[in-house]
Structure 1
Amino acid sequence: MPLAHCHNAASYTGFDMGSGEASAIAILSALERLPAGGLLLIEEIEHGFHPQAQERLIRELTLLVSTDKKQVVCTTHSEYIIDALPREGRLLVEREPDGHRVSAAPTTRQAMYSMTGTPQPELTVYVEDTFAETLVDQALPGEHRARVRIVPVGSGDRVVAQLANHRQARLDGPAICVLDGDTTDRQLTAWSNASGLSSTESCLRLPGDSPPETWVLGALLTDPYRDALARLARLEAGRLAATLEQLRSTRDPHDIPRDFARQHAIAEDWAVYVITSCVADHPGLQPIRDHVASCLI
């Protein structure tokens, strides 16, 4: 194969070039020889290029192929290449036991999670406490759960303030907040104004008009969810029904998981898990699932 050669005020050959420069000339030369409508295949296109050069290469190639009506298909494991590519130009190929799965237009973090196995959160969800955190987490499908980071912050006004800070400071990735169901429109408006949040479109609420523990208890008092809890927690149905009825008189709704745990001699964090997971598919949580899905497109 002949050495790469270019001339710009002075001759410059492959003897003088780094691997990235040689690769760039090889790619551009092949693209120049490619007829209109032609296809160029490149394996590991990032080879030899430092991050800034990778981004510049993709910008130049995108411009060239759109002007000359040519097509470049390349493989890459570089987040810089993926990030520089238009979303509509990305395909994520993942190995499965019986073949491969292809996902169109993946986000950079979704692709990197697939390659590294380390979650790369694409969306931050601020909530009030760990109960709300577990409830939202359980409500999301597994394919979205790995792409979302849920952060308990504190009271409702602090949640809204944290969302505003996230937006104003341009912290990593988009963010929304999910407030407890007993948050009123008036409260949300006041908190938003005080925090300088320009819009409340990203402020969702858990279902019901009460603390989430009360809403979950109400759902568990109905047959399908109570039966699911009995199976998951391995509790006798009659005793479980009696416990749930007794919990309706709990003075502080936040104590419901603790009292449930004490009644059945289980850890409180396990109690939170089982009672939230049993209502995870409740229709009342669908708006949250839908909004998170729209943020991950």
Structure 2
Amino acid sequence: MSQYKSEIRESLISALEDRAAKGNYRKYLKRLTLKKVRGFIDREITFDFPVTALVGPNGGGKTTILGAAALIYKQVQPRRFFAKSGKYDSSMKDWSVEYELIDRDLNRRLPVPRTASFKKAKWNRTAVEREVLIFGVERTVPATERRELIKAAGSKFAAKKEVALTEGVAGHVALILGKSIEGFNRLFVDADGRVTLFSGRTPSGDEYSEFHFGAGEASVIRIIADVEAAPDGAMILIEEIENGLHPVATRRMIEYLIDVAARKALQVIFTTHSNDALAPLPPKAIWAAYNGEVLQGKLDITALRTITGQIDAKLAIFVEDKFAENMVTTALRIHGGMEIDAIKVHGMGGASSAIKVNEQHNLDPTSAFPSVCLLDGDQAESVNVDKGVFKLPGTMDPESHVFDRVLERIDQVSAKLAVSMLLPTGQQERVKAVVMSRALTNRDRHLIWEQIGEDLDFTAGYTVASAFLAIWAQEYPEEINEMVEQFQTLLPKR
């Protein structure tokens, strides 16, 4: 209910979505189809935003998709992601990936089809030219453990060349890490510049090398320095982007990648296990990979753990968004008589995602527990009882329904509402006035909790929404009973 507020403007997100839809790039990977790769058969991934997150459980296929994206470009050796161990590895036989690319050097007007396949002993690729930067998980290995830096560890080491980080690089790093890196340099260990490390400077002026950096700090500096130096239109691939980063730094890193994708027409694809990495992205930018399936949308990482059976449960309930998730949880607690801890409720980022995941979960023979889908009240046409698809109370989105139902009884519940919002009971008339005023002036019910909170001395939107849900559940038990009865037989009884 309380939402992360990104510093990236919605207008920029919309502009980048529009640019990807129109294919207004010199080089861009629009889609790939995993015809047969590892556990994937005929699964298509579209890149509808220039920064794409791949999420899923370990072994779910995130790195497979990342590698497939890189495979069609000449600069990337197939063995970087798909190595074969001679006669001991026959699993890659008949693997195939199909692509739809934008490459204005090859066709100025139309998308370019390409294929990569492994028929017998090697990959056959109709590969194309594009600069590709790959940042693997090894980037967070401390400098003291990197073999190529052994020669830089001695007291007599002198770099072949020292290059100061540009003002732009330093500024972007400072925004992500929350600290100044003024006076930092890149040190070239070998003559051809393939091995480098960084040096820094304390506020008092003392110099220190990357051997004394935090692994996350060095990783951020390296990624940004290389990305800023990359040519426009390059592809950036990052494995487990959150490694070594604080959650706030993770979100800021994604915001940086969105910004640089806009500035330099870059395409970024990264894997992650972190919800913080997903927060700044639109639903179109997120793909989940699990059990040979792919699903586009803003899935919560915890939801994926439930879907794949990593969380012990007796019933899963998939809903459209976070507010619906809290609405269902509140309703179940008020209803009582069941094992609440054995029921996992997850917002799936939209009706289509909730329906699809529920269907896949119930068709999976390995699923240890059933699931149902509860759609918003305005999705009545999508209800399918035979497939476990039901709906929430009302005929509109749940925010509107809950607000309007509480508003109907505002004279009777204003005191309880004030207390639920952690305000003195003496504030009940003020609470009533604010609610009635916002009922007239609000244009988007999804924003009304934050608006009411602002009017009430900046009470958190989450607190306001929770208060309204609690009052609704207490005042309208018949609606809760009607909702629960739809899947009563599946509920784990206490």
Q: TM-score, normalised on structure 1?
A: 0.52
How has the CA–CA distance of structure 1 residues 150 and 227 changed in structure 2, closer, same or farther, with 3 Å as cutoff? same
Match of 1:272 in 2: 465
1:140 correspondence with 2:329: no
- The answer for the alignment partner of 1:205 in structure 2 is 391
Aligned partner of 1:258 among 450, 456, 460: 450
CA distance in 2 between partners of 1:174 and 1:274 (Å): 31
CA contact under 8 A between 1:138 and 1:277: conserved in structure 2? yes
TM-score (norm 2): 0.32
CA distance in 1, matches of 2:402, 2:362: 31
Deviation at 1:151, TM superposition (A): 0.6
Unaligned runs of 5+ in 1: 1-118, 193-197
Query: 1:174 pairs with 370, 379, 386, which one?
Result: 370
- The reply on whether 1:164 has 2:359 as its aligned counterpart is yes
Q: Is the alpha carbon distance of 1:144 and 1:247 closer, same or farther for their aligned partners in structure 2, counting shifts above 3 Å?
A: farther
Q: Which has the higher helix share?
A: 1
| Cα shift readout 1:21-49 (whole Å, capped 9, x = no counterpart) | xxxxxxxxxxxxxxxxxxxxxxxxxxxxx
Question: Any stretches of 5+ residues in structure 2 without a counterpart?
Answer: 1-310
Q: Show the counterpart of 1:51.
A: none
Name which of 110, 121, 130 aligns with 2:322.
130
Query: Who is 1:241 aligned against?
Result: 432
Instruction: Tell me which residue corresponds to 1:89.
Output: none
Q: Quick one: higher RCO (CA 8 Å, sep 6+), 1 or 2?
A: 2
Whether contact under 8 Å (1:225, 1:279) holds in the other structure is no
The answer to whether the 8 Å contact 2:414/2:429 transfers is no
Deviations 1:122-145 (A, max 9, x none): 100001111111111011135432
Question: How many aligned residue pairs are there?
Answer: 169
Distance 1:120 1:225 in 2: 38
Q: Which whole-Å deviations, capped at 9, do the CAs of 1:157-188 have from their partners, x for residues lacking one? A: 22111111111224331100111111132xx1
State the Cα deviation string for residues 211-243 of structure 1 (Å, max 9, x = none). Answer: 111111112111444442123222512111122
Partner in structure 1 of residue 401 of structure 2: 215
Which SS does the other structure have where 2:345 is aligned? strand
Whole-angstrom distance in 2 between the partners of 1:272 and 1:294 = 30
* 1:234-289 Cα deviation digits (max 9, x unpaired): 25121111221122231111111221222221222222222211212322222223
Identity in percent = 22
Amino acid at match of 1:247: R
**8 Å CA contact retained: 1:144, 1:293:** no
The structure carrying a bigger strand percent of its residues is 2
Mapping for residues 21-100 of structure 1, pairs under 5 Å: none
Q: What amino acid does structure 1 have at the position aligned with 2:483? A: I
Equivalent residue, structure 1, for 2:420: 232
Which one of 154, 157, 178 corresponds to residue 349 of structure 2? 154
- Given the superposition, is the C-alpha separation of residues 240 and 148 from structure 1 closer, same or farther in structure 2, using an over 3 Å criterion? same
Runs (4+) of structure 1 moved beyond 4 Å? Answer: none
2:393 touches 2:483 (CA, 8 Å); kept in 1? no
Distance of aligned partners of 1:179 and 1:227 in 2 relative to their CA distance in 1, 3 Å threshold: farther
